[in-house]
Amino acid sequence: MWTQFSILKNSVPRPFAFLFALTFFFAPGGASAQNQCTQKLSSLPTAPEFFGFRLGMTKEEVKVMAPQTKFGHTDDFGVAKTTINPSFDPKIDKDKYVGVRSISLDFLDERLTSLWIGYDETYSIHTTDEFIKQISASLHLSGAWTSWRSKGQQLRCDDFQIIVSQIAGGPSVRILDVGADDTVAARRQAKEEERDAAASGTSDPVGPAGASAEPEEIVADKTSKTFYAPGCKPTKEIPESNKVVFKSLEEAQKSGFKLAQICN
């Protein structure tokens, strides 16, 4: 890429060289595009740093791996959380989680959507940069990491985000499904709108002759597994063969569909 750039640069008159350089580096195919991570969760290999955990696994699968796991209450949005503490819980086989202080698991609709692991000072790697190098190799990650808060680094990929930071003398890593975060945000927003409507007395509106107004249908694309909230339309018309209609946001989400990004 650099050789190609040098050849093209030398063929451009000097007054236009600076403008050409900006166009090259910031164009969709330029150097900035090379720094983006386009990987998907479905393509990630197994990483030894995660000790067998992976996003998308069910509570039952987690229970097989760690029988002592107790799951917390599932809230109104379908979220449940739990923590495993190899360093403190005598029931856990510490030899299975060498160098691990604690593991936090977040579930949405019974599936793991966020995994956080905190390592202690006995772990083989002690710095953020070293851990980033190792986890990038294990997961075959590409792209440029950026700063996160005061001492951390993050990498945003196609449908997941990974964060590495330093806590209590050891590294920590979190990998999360960004689509799940969007789903929870959509559910919270829908709940707030319901409360606002109830508070203002506009819930359960009625039309002429006292008939209840029909709720708006939720249109979805079964190819991309995304749905569009009322008032949000797809940029391109969905072919009839791919179109799915749901009666509510909850029905679409429980069917495995996620809110389209343009509706956020």
The H-or-E segment that residue 156 falls in is strand 152-156
What pLDDT, on a 0 to 100 scale, did the predictor assign at position 33?
A: 55
Note the pLDDT tens digit of each residue in 183-236: 999 999 999 988 888 887 655 554 444 444 455 788 899 888 888 888 788 888
For residue 182, give the 3-state DSSP assignment: helix
Contacts of 216 (CB under 8 A, 6+ apart): 230
pLDDT for the residue 8: 45
Check if the beta carbon of residue 162 is closer than 8 Å to that of residue 175. Answer: yes
Question: How many residues does the structure list for the chain?
Answer: 264
pLDDT at 50: 96
55 Cβ neighbours under 8 A, 6+ residues apart: 41, 112, 113, 114, 115, 160, 175, 176, 177
Which pLDDT score, from 0 to 100, does residue 40 have? 94
Strand partners, 82: 105
pLDDT confidence of residue 162: 97
Q: Taking Cα atoms as reference points, which of 35, 14, 15, 32 lies closest to residue 23?
A: 32
pLDDT for residue 154: 97
Residues of the chain whose pLDDT is less than 70?
Answer: 1-34, 201-215
